[in-house]
Amino acid sequence: MKTIFIFIQALLFVACSFTRETPKEWQTIFENNNANGTFVLYNLDTQEYKYYNSLRSDSAFIPASTFKILNSLIALETNVIKDENEIIKWDGIDRGWDKWNRDQNMKSAIAVSCVWFYQELARRIGKNRMQNWLNKVKYGNRQMGGKIDNFWLQGNLRISANEQVKFLEKLVNNNLPFKKKNMETVKRIMITDSTGNYIVHSKSGWETKTNPQIGWLVGYVEKGNSKWIFAMNMDIVKKSDLELRKKITYDILRDEKIIK
C-alpha cells in the first residue's frame, strides 16, 4: 500500500512539474505590454516548469546573439582564445556603434553583444569544429548553413525556448562537454545584474531578417542556493519593443518573488 501511495505521489509531482497552464499574471504582463511571445521558467530545486504561450515555447527560431553563450564555450575549449581577458584588436571598421568600435575581450564583447568579435572567434574555430560541437552539445537543430561567421544570424540554425532552457540547465549544472573552468568562465561573464539578494546571468538576442523580427532573452537567476532558468522570445515589430525583453522578464521574475 505504501509503495502505491509513493507511486501516486510521484505521478502527481511529474504532472505538476510539466504543467503548461499559463499563470494569469503572466498573461496580464504580456497583454499590458502588447507583446506576442513566450516565456519559460524552470525551477531547478522543484523541477517545475511554468509557461506563457506553451505552444510557441516549442517553436524554433534563429538564436541570434544568444548563440554567443555557446560560441564562448567552444572558443575557450578549442583554445582559439586564451581566456575572457585576451584582447582582439579592432579592425578599424566603423560599425555604427562606439561600444563596438574598439578593442575587445570576451568579457567586454558579450556585455555589448559585439558581433565582429564573435565572428572572429567563429572563423578561428572553423566550420568543421563548430559543427562537431553543435552535435556534441545537441544545440537546437544543429544545422549551420550560411557562413561560419554568420550562421547564427542568417543561417539555418534554429532553437526553441524550451531547448534554450535545457541547454542552460546543463550549463548551470556543469553537464556540458566542456572543461568546468570554461563553463564557470562563461557563467561569470554572463552576469548582467547582481544585488545582495540575487544574481542574474543572461544574454539577449535580436534577429532582424524576418517580419516580424524576433527578440530573445535567456539566462538564469541565482538566489541563495536556489536557481531558476528562463527563456523568452517575442515578436519585435518596432525597435522600442527591444526594451520589453528585459521588462517582461523582470516583471515575471518579480511576480514569482524571485527578484524584488
Catalytic positions: 65
Q: Which three cell numbers stand for residue 3?
A: 509503495
110: exposed, middle or buried (C-beta count within 10 Å: 0-12, 13-18, 19+)? Answer: buried
How many Å apart are CA 121 and CA 81, to the nearest integer? 8
> What residue ranges in 13-69 does DSSP mark as E strands?
37-43, 48-52, 60-61
User: Rg of the chain's alpha carbons, rounded to an integer?
Assistant: 19
Query: In this structure, are residues 259 and 229 in contact, taking their beta carbons and an 8 Å threshold?
Result: no
- Side-chain-facing half-sphere of 74: CA atoms under 13 Å: 26
Give residues with Cβ within 8 angstroms of 55, minimum separation 6: none
**Strand (E) positions, 28-170?**
37-43, 48-52, 60-61, 159-160
